[in-house]
Structure 1
Amino acid sequence: MQRIVFAAIIGLVFGTGIALSGMANPAKVLNFFDLFGTWDPSLAFVMGGALLVTAVGYAFVLRREKPVLADRFHLPASRRIDAPLLGGAAAFGIGWGIAGFCPGGAIPALGLGESSAFVFVASMLAGIVAARTLSIALSARARTA
């Protein structure tokens, strides 16, 4: 129960930050990408602030032997840059640039009643299911070949 309560609190803080920063507004995000039109550089400050908080948080948290609410840390084991990583990053960037939403901004936008966020989240979930299904099928094919 404690994990659920902490997850809910952290989610509320994150969602509030996203909403207050304007990242739940696709027009604001798209203006960040419009370098030669209505460019709005404020998103760079949001990203910089998030990077700073993350760096400080990781430095603090990783000094511990284990997390507060888990038996061990779950950190990426691989540092390899491969085709799935590059493809996923490209799909993420293209989707963000077209729709003005990333997953972190779309979920709070649902709470704000942003109608396009509902379409985005449904499409995002369909993409997650499709990618997982394809990955499983390709893994099964590789094992039998």
Structure 2
Amino acid sequence: MADQSTDRHPLFIPLVLLGGLIFGFGLAYSHMARPEVVLNFLQFEDFGLLFVMFGGAAVTGVSFLLAPRVLDRAPLTGDRFERRLKSFDRNVLVGGGIFGVGWGLSGICPGAAYASLGIGNVAILWALGGMFLGAYLQGWWRSQTSRADPAPAGAD
């Protein structure tokens, strides 16, 4: 398999950075980078997050619907457009539940955590550190269990 970094369009990284800047600005502008706003949503007191998520899902949905019909390949990577179906299994259910507990306890999810850091919420570094540590521990745990169980793992 070829190194993907050499196959990418030269504008790939700058456009990913631009997309991240737009994403972070949108989260901060809509106040979703503030944990108290997210916690108010989770307590059914403020439904603004629902509209922000719907806006993002609508733009993404239209893009995923139209891009394969208009373009033969992805403009920056040259990859063919194809659907990647993830089966709904026990790992998705348990992982989603664990994510939800973490989201409820911290009041922040990963994208909003970075945006929150950008608006000066330095205390969010604890949540970011916890996310990295949790992801690392899950990867370590998965590597340990895959060595003990020679059966093939499910699709990731």
Residues 24-55 of structure 1: per-residue CA shift (max 9 Å, x gap): 000001001113xxx01111111111111111
Inter-partner Cα distance in structure 1 for 2:81 and 2:141: 25
Aligned to 1:97: 104
- Secondary structure of 1:115's counterpart equals coil
Aligned to 2:66: 60
Inter-partner Cα distance in structure 2 for 1:71 and 1:129: 31
Answering whether residue 19 of structure 2 is matched by residue 13 of structure 1, we say no
Inter-partner Cα distance in structure 2 for 1:98 and 1:73: 40
Bigger mean CA deviation after superposition, 124-133 or 113-122: 113-122
Aligned to 1:26: 35
Bigger mean CA deviation after superposition, 17-26 or 90-99: 90-99
Inter-partner Cα distance in structure 2 for 1:48 and 1:123: 28
Answering whether residue 48 of structure 2 is matched by residue 42 of structure 1, we say yes
Once the 2 structures are TM-superposed, how far is the Cα of residue 62 of structure 1 from its aligned partner? 2.6
Distance 1:134 1:79, change over 3 A: same
Inter-partner Cα distance in structure 1 for 2:30 and 2:127: 20
Alignment TM-score, normalising by the size of structure 2: 0.82
Distance 1:100 1:74, change over 3 A: farther
Inter-partner Cα distance in structure 1 for 2:55 and 2:84: 26
Higher fraction of helix: 1
Aligned to 1:122: 129
Distance 1:95 1:69, change over 3 A: same
Alignment TM-score, normalising by the size of structure 1: 0.88
Inter-partner Cα distance in structure 2 for 1:74 and 1:127: 32
Unaligned runs of 5+ in 1: none
Inter-partner Cα distance in structure 2 for 1:77 and 1:34: 33
Moved >3 Å (runs of 4+): 73-79
Q: Report the residue type matching 1:21 in the other structure.
A: S
Identity of aligned residues (%): 32
Inter-partner Cα distance in structure 1 for 2:92 and 2:145: 16
Once the 2 structures are TM-superposed, how far is the Cα of residue 97 of structure 1 from its aligned partner? 1.3
Aligned to 2:6: none
Inter-partner Cα distance in structure 2 for 1:75 and 1:133: 30
Unaligned runs of 5+ in 2: 1-9, 152-156
Q: CA-atom RMSD, angstroms?
A: 1.8
Once the 2 structures are TM-superposed, how far is the Cα of residue 75 of structure 1 from its aligned partner? 5.8
